Amino acid sequence: MGRKLLLDKAHIENIRLYDVYRREGGYRSVEKALKTMTPDAVTEEVKKSGLRGRGGAGFPTGMKWSFLAKPEGVPRYLVVNADESEPGTFKDRYLMEFIPHLLIEGMITSSFALGASRSYIYIRGEYAWIVDILEQAIQEAKNNGFLGKNILGTGYDLEIYVQRGAGAYICGEETALLESLEGKRGNPRIKPPFPAVKGLWGCPTVVNNVETIAAVVPIINEGGDEYAKIGVGKSTGTKLISACGNIKQQGVYEIDMTISVEEFIYSDEYCGGIANGRQLKACIPGGSSVPILPANLLLKTAKGEPRMMNYESLADGGFATGSMMGSGGFIVLDDTQCVVKHTYTLARFYRHESCGQCSPCREGTGWMEKILLKIDSGKGSMSDIDLLWDIQRKIEGNTICPLGDAAAWPVAAAIRHFRDEFEWHINNPEDCLRKNYGLAGYADELKIPVLDA
Amino acid sequence: MADEVKQEAPVNFKVTIDNITIEVAPGTTVLNAARQIGGDVTPPAMCYYSKLEGSGGKCRTCLVEIAAGSEKDPRPMPKLMASCRTTVMDGMVVKNITSERVQDARAGVVEFLLLNHPLDCPICDQAGECHLQDLGYDHGKEGTRYEFKRRTFEKEDIGPFIQLHMTRCILCYRCTYVADQLTDKRVHGILDRGDHAEISTYISKAIDNDFSGNMIDVCPVGALTDKTFRFKNRVWFTKPVDAHRDCDKCCGKVTLWNRGDEVLRVTARKDTWGEVQSYDNKPGWICNTCRFDKKKTSDWVIEGVTNINRHSVIAQNKYNGLVVPKETITDVMGGRDPKLLMDIHDVSDVNDPSIDLSLIEGPATSKTFEKKEE
């Protein structure tokens, strides 16, 4: 049984209300930070904790905070990225819906560390009901002196605002989010300047994921060193994983990054194995943008070691044989799933969500979608696979924001590991409409299908 | 404050682009440094416009490889960078035409830009002065690998002066910057997102605010063209002359595109990079009155013939050196018998294939194709 830091009290009835949350030890970190620590000391604790951004990139949070420019007389902002739109990721929703005060508490402590007197939660438009939950929590915190002017008599002021997005995946990219928050079209900005120097309304800004900010609470309560003891190597603390797909128990799990992927999928404590007695075929371990892995590479790295649920182990082998921790959207595919159709669905999503600002992403995503649909409907040819590979190669790395990469990686990984399935679709145009390629050799112990297209 | 900065002797940054070293002022972008060198090392730019604040970074044609970040930190940058939005550092080493990676990526971008472009150059008023045409000639491939229907849009009328062809648009955003920075009120912008994003006005409003005509000049393709010049002539048959008039709204310095004595079109004067020329460090934007209403020679004081690059089709009055396709009609028709086809030249008497259009003087007229009495 792994240790829980964020969700340990999630099961308590009415924990979403201030009174219950406070009774269970809530807002201790605010008291500790504001009354006994300096802002720099809070940042130092976060640095020591080794906390990494939980939104997908895994950038060390303490380092991000220390990059924040601090010119005199210019306000600084903390913006919480709650625009959780990555297919397969729903951990922040759970957190905000059931323990909203954990986020508010983390925001107060973090804003104090950053010297921000106004903070924003930019929440995905589809989470309409969570806005009410958060606003109620903010009001309750305000009524009890944790927000507003002169918090706890320390002279520190903070206001938190919730802003709803209008339903665009791209607004989860931090600079697009800031544009949208400013009331403009949500196009990613060209970097540099980075938000740490010129962010919201041209002021230094830190944008962090909901889970990252929530994790600040246990870090301050227990100390950065204690937090760093949990987990392994550079993957410290706990991580929320939203597991979905063909597993017995879908849901949000908190893991301490020391368990193996195999245990996570098959143990009853977590996913409980593959549903309906089917077999594991493939898995996207970190949200739709990260590379898909076949069962054999998912459970064991190319070196033959068991793959663990942490940043380093999931990325072991690079993109050739590994994947990424990403945002923790764990999507499991069983042997009844078709990887070609699956890749097409993702390509369609990215085409729809591309902002259209830069040419490779705008044109390339649509092109990939059309080719994938063609292959999926049994009209493809062998040259289409190579063409797909060439298109994704020309998108990746050449765009303004990471959406181009996010659109290219799933296609690249699908071709890299599941080329036989694509070829089967092309060679059996009629069968592929009625039948499924099935598990094939993707779970075989010895075969490691690494293809250079 | 500004004076103080000037007094500190400005230390120039040394930057090496394709093995040519140049000293530029700090804050200069890589693209502008390359433009100071000029010639082949200058990356093409479809969306960047030096006179429009905030433009650039979108089209990705100007991507370059930064082989060394600066003297202090000579690590290369892992990704290709948009040269129009990357400022130089002292000791930076940039690779443009000497980098295979850049050439490969640029070919990819050009392919993406042309993917949904209708290639209706034969009926496009921009043909001959189109940056996408130039880019296509320089970096494009002969054929396309795209086999799907090209994207189309619903037609929209944006007023009596500007013609919008959304199908040709490459979404460089330049016209929205013009609207933001030059006109008194912006009535158009980008609607929707992704590959269905389009330039549009707020509920089909006409764009007729002053200075909006500059949208035509900044548009790198034929998406925004002059409606008063529509289908009047091909640009390479017109004769550009520099002219000016006293205008209380703008600088009044323009190029007239004449045919005989008739002024067919008025545009701002362009510099080497296809951008509006500057006078006393101010961009020479022209007002709509000068552009659309003053179409008589008597309105203007003629200064002389406009200097046009001799390689331009405009200077040569024609496209010359036409590449005649090697394939036979049978090849083009996929092996089918051409006799089944109607010979359009027989029927219409125009575009007689035996007449090389590049060899006739001036524009082709119906007389060129007149049937000789036998």
* Averaged pLDDT, B256-284: 90
- A355 with A319, same domain: the answer is no
For the stretch A60-99, pLDDT in tens is 999 999 999 988 889 999 999 999 999 999 999 999 999 9
In-domain check, residue A256: yes
Question: Mean pLDDT over all residues of chain B?
Answer: 84
Domain termination residue (choose one: A229, A253, A272) = A229
* Averaged pLDDT, B254-272: 90
**Interchain CB distance below 8 Å, B194 and A399:** no
- B151 with B209, same domain: the answer is yes
- B47 with B146, same domain: the answer is no
Domain termination residue (choose one: B213, B229, B245) = B229
Report the alpha-carbon distance of residue A196 to residue B255 in Å, rounded: 46
* Averaged pLDDT, A11-32: 92
- B18 with B65, same domain: the answer is yes
Taking CA–CA distances from B61, the nearest residue in chain A reads A359
Strands laid side by side in the A280-284 sheet: A251-255, A239-245, A329-334, A280-284, A293-294
Report the alpha-carbon distance of residue A126 to residue A128 in Å, rounded: 5
- A35 with A72, same domain: the answer is yes
Task: Enumerate the residues of chain A whose CB falls inside 8 A of the CB of residue B55.
Answer: none
Total count of domains within chain A: 3
pLDDT of residue B21: 93
> What Cα–Cα distance (Å) separates residue B242 from each residue in B219, B254, B256, B259, B272?
21, 6, 6, 14, 15
pLDDT of residue A450: 54
- A209 with A253, same domain: the answer is no
Domain termination residue (choose one: A334, A359, A374) = A334
- Chain A: give the shortest CA distance to residue B281, in Å: 26
Least confident of A241-255, A382-396, B63-77, B193-207: B193-207
Task: Enumerate the residues of chain B whose CB falls inside 8 A of the CB of residue A394.
Answer: 104-105, 108-109, 111-112
Tally C-beta pairs within 8 A across A and B. 89
In-domain check, residue B322: no
- B258 with B338, same domain: the answer is no
Q: Is B164 helix (H, G, I), strand (E, B) or coil?
A: strand
- A244 with A214, same domain: the answer is no
- A224 with A248, same domain: the answer is no
- B21 with B92, same domain: the answer is yes
In-domain check, residue B5: no
The B-side interface with A (CB below 8 A) comprises: 56-61, 63, 79-80, 82, 85, 104-105, 108-109, 111-113, 115-116, 145-146, 148, 151, 170-171, 173, 189-190, 192-197
In-domain check, residue A200: yes
- A179 with A265, same domain: the answer is no
Domain limits at B146?
121-229
* Averaged pLDDT, B250-263: 89
pLDDT of residue B203: 67
- A244 with A372, same domain: the answer is no
In-domain check, residue A1: no
Q: How confident is the model at residue B371 (pLDDT cuts 50, 70, 90)?
A: low
- B240 with B224, same domain: the answer is no
- B95 with B148, same domain: the answer is no
In-domain check, residue B158: yes
In-domain check, residue B300: yes
- B203 with B245, same domain: the answer is no
- A329 with A344, same domain: the answer is no
* Residue A240 CB neighbours (<10 A): 24
* Averaged pLDDT, B193-221: 85
* Averaged pLDDT, B355-364: 68
For the stretch B291-332, pLDDT in tens is 999 888 899 999 988 888 777 777 776 665 556 666 666 676
- Beta bridge partners, A107, equal none
Taking CA–CA distances from A390, the nearest residue in chain B reads B108
pLDDT of residue B4: 47
pLDDT of residue B201: 84
Domain termination residue (choose one: B42, B75, B108) = B108
Task: Enumerate the residues of chain B whose CB falls inside 8 A of the CB of residue A358.
Answer: 57-60
- Chain B: give the shortest CA distance to residue A106, in Å: 34
pLDDT of residue A202: 92
- B257 with B202, same domain: the answer is no
pLDDT of residue A347: 95
In-domain check, residue B323: no
Task: Enumerate the residues of chain B whose CB falls inside 8 A of the CB of residue A387.
Answer: 145
CATH of the domain at B131: 3.30.70.20
pLDDT of residue B341: 55
Checking if the pLDDT of B218 tops 80, the result is: yes
User: Nearest Cβ partner of A190 from B57, B61, B197?
Assistant: B57
Taking CA–CA distances from B116, the nearest residue in chain A reads A363
- A23 with A164, same domain: the answer is yes
* Averaged pLDDT, B88-117: 92
pLDDT of residue B186: 80
CATH of the domain at B60: 3.10.20.740
pLDDT of residue A10: 87
- B244 with B267, same domain: the answer is yes
- A187 with A58, same domain: the answer is yes
In-domain check, residue A2: no
In-domain check, residue B344: yes
In-domain check, residue A357: yes
In-domain check, residue B115: no
Checking if the pLDDT of A451 tops 60, the result is: no
Q: How confident is the model at residue A4 (pLDDT cuts 50, 70, 90)?
A: confident
pLDDT of residue B372: 58
Report the alpha-carbon distance of residue A393 to residue B268 in Å, rounded: 40
pLDDT of residue B40: 87
In-domain check, residue B22: yes
User: Nearest Cβ partner of B195 from A190, A363, A400?
Assistant: A363
- B137 with B222, same domain: the answer is yes
Q: How confident is the model at residue A173 (pLDDT cuts 50, 70, 90)?
A: very high
Task: Enumerate the residues of chain B whose CB falls inside 8 A of the CB of residue A185.
Answer: 189-190
In-domain check, residue A449: no
> What Cα–Cα distance (Å) separates residue A268 from each residue in A273, A301, A309, B115, B149?
7, 23, 16, 50, 50
Domain limits at A382?
339-434
Question: Mean pLDDT over all residues of chain A?
Answer: 91
pLDDT of residue B2: 44
- A138 with A202, same domain: the answer is yes
Checking if the pLDDT of B343 tops 70, the result is: no
pLDDT of residue B208: 73
CATH of the domain at A215: 3.40.50.11540
For the stretch B158-167, pLDDT in tens is 888 999 999 9
**What are the backbone dihedrals phi and psi of residue A123, each rounded to the nearest 5 degrees, phi first?**
-110, 145
Domain termination residue (choose one: A229, A256, A287) = A229
Task: Enumerate the residues of chain B whose CB falls inside 8 A of the CB of residue A362.
Answer: 112, 171, 194-195, 197
**Interchain CB distance below 8 Å, A370 and B148:** yes
pLDDT of residue A453: 47
CATH of the domain at A302: 3.10.20.600
- Chain A: give the shortest CA distance to residue B172, in Å: 8
User: Nearest Cβ partner of A394 from B105, B173, B196?
Assistant: B105
Total count of domains within chain B: 4
pLDDT of residue B369: 66
In-domain check, residue A101: yes
- A131 with A271, same domain: the answer is no
Task: Enumerate the residues of chain A whose CB falls inside 8 A of the CB of residue B193.
Answer: 168, 170, 353-356
In-domain check, residue A34: yes
